[in-house]
Structure 1
């Protein structure tokens, strides 16, 4: 199996049709069908089920499709790294970030672009575990992730950092986000966690246990109205006026709706810690080194 065959197969899988795939690849359909047949014979598995109008991936085909996309991305990243043994004046930085940490990324990339205008960016917004997986697979070069304190004031680990280098960037509190017509009881700029007792809450799936523990320490059980794994979705739920979303303070920039109000929650157990991470056993390009230097300032 060579990369050309793999790219042909990926095009077939994406288009679901040999004719469309051949047009996208700018080759005739017979040679494309022949390369697919050679690939199946070489691998000893059937990759697609053919009908008169379309093709459907088999289980083996779906496996190769998912793995193939990672292989192509890894090869492209490797090629970029091999071209960057000098000063990193040109190239592409592949970065993964959580939604709530994207604000610092926007700031740093803006400043970095002024110094290195020929370096492009490839940004993937994912959760912590997905970012670390992309780092481990060599798909991205840098990740920006979050961690939290639990009710015992110990760092709550969503990830194992033994294979990574990391730098702590900043701490931030969590905020209560709610529609301006939801309640008028929050008069101060900051509120205690206990003020959310008996209110319907919108919680992030990964933060539910931490928030529940913090509430338990104050002798109440939170009323969970909705759970989500996406911060933007949580803010949308809050905007409906049906509940209060508890999110990191930096998530405020993710909401374009001006009807949302925010109150900082004063609780030492609800602190978000943000880290920048990279692999400790991979080649670090000059572009990555220069970008990491931005966080030393």
Structure 2
């Protein structure tokens, strides 16, 4: 099995039929079928269920497909980096970024780094923390810029910024608050709450200790969703302070939570057990100076 065979296999799956894949690959159908049969013989398992017009993968085929995409991506990125090196360019940095840190990521990390390293190019991948850590584990990212809490596994990280969680919502939700600039956990029990799902267990434990109960109206995995719902007056979102860039300040108020020490840390996570390019090392060094 080689990378060319993997490319043939992935193309067949993506196109749905061997004939369509052969057309995409600019080759005739019989040699492509032969390559797939040879791959199955080499692996000792059946990858496709025969007899149907469209390709249907076996369980072995599904496993190979998920891994083949990662291997082909890694091959592509490696060739890109080598090509960039030959041209005297420092390379391409693959960074995963959670939505709530996009503004900080651009202004605090990328702009100063780009000023010092103008020839470095970027591939940005967006997703929630769990999705990005999975990409990092599969070597599809060089660095993931995510928020705590998260499970580190064998990863290492560099803390970038620590910030408080705030309450954000329509002014009407805060009209009974005693302090014009802040809100208490108890006062928030009177309004529908829009919650970042990863904070659910932490906030639940904190509220149980204080014997306070909240009305959790909506849970989501993305700060933008929480802010969009808050903008429409559906509840009060509990979000990291830097995420308020997505807020419509003409509609809503932003309050600190006076009797809570809820904090979120933005961190750059990387995998020390895989190859770390010089471009990535440069970027991590730059982060360490912040």
Q: Do they superpose with TM above 0.5?
A: yes
Select which of 189, 194, 199 maps to 1:207. Answer: 199
Q: TM-score, normalised by structure 1?
A: 0.83
Q: Which moved more, 1:254-263 or 1:268-277?
A: 254-263
Residue number in structure 2 paired with 1:167: 158
Note if 1:144 corresponds to 2:145.
yes
CA deviation vs aligned residue, 1:259-286 (integer Å, no higher than 9, x gap)? 4443232344311112112223444322
Q: Which moved more, 1:242-251 or 1:122-131?
A: 122-131
Distance 1:210 1:18, change over 3 A: same
C-alpha deviation, 1:144, in angstroms: 1.7
C-alpha deviation, 1:6, in angstroms: 0.5
Note if 1:48 corresponds to 2:48.
yes
Note if 1:289 corresponds to 2:281.
yes
Residue number in structure 2 paired with 1:131: 132
List alignment gaps of at least 5 residues for structure 1: 149-157
CA deviation vs aligned residue, 1:109-160 (integer Å, no higher than 9, x gap)? 2333333333221222233343333333322111222225xxxxxxxxx313
Select which of 207, 227, 230 maps to 1:238. Answer: 230
Aligned residues of 1:87 and 1:287 also touching (Cα < 8 A) = no
Q: TM-score, normalised by structure 2?
A: 0.85
Note if 1:103 corresponds to 2:95.
no
C-alpha deviation, 1:232, in angstroms: 2.1
Q: Which moved more, 1:194-203 or 1:247-256?
A: 247-256
2:141 match: secondary structure:
coil
2:198 match: secondary structure:
coil
Alignment map for 1:57-76 (pairs within 5 Å): 57-76=57-76
Distance 1:21 1:235, change over 3 A: farther
Distance 1:137 1:282, change over 3 A: same
Rounded to whole Å, the distance in 2 between the matches of 1:256 and 1:122 is 29
Alignment map for 1:248-259 (pairs within 5 Å): 248-255=240-247, 259=251
Rounded to whole Å, the distance in 2 between the matches of 1:87 and 1:191 is 56
Aligned residues of 1:3 and 1:72 also touching (Cα < 8 A) = yes
Structure richer in helix, relative to its length = 2
Alignment map for 1:78-117 (pairs within 5 Å): 78-80=78-80, 89-107=89-107, 108-117=109-118
Runs of 4+, deviation exceeding 6 Å: 83-88
C-alpha deviation, 1:18, in angstroms: 2.6
CA deviation vs aligned residue, 1:37-65 (integer Å, no higher than 9, x gap)? 22222222222234564212222211111
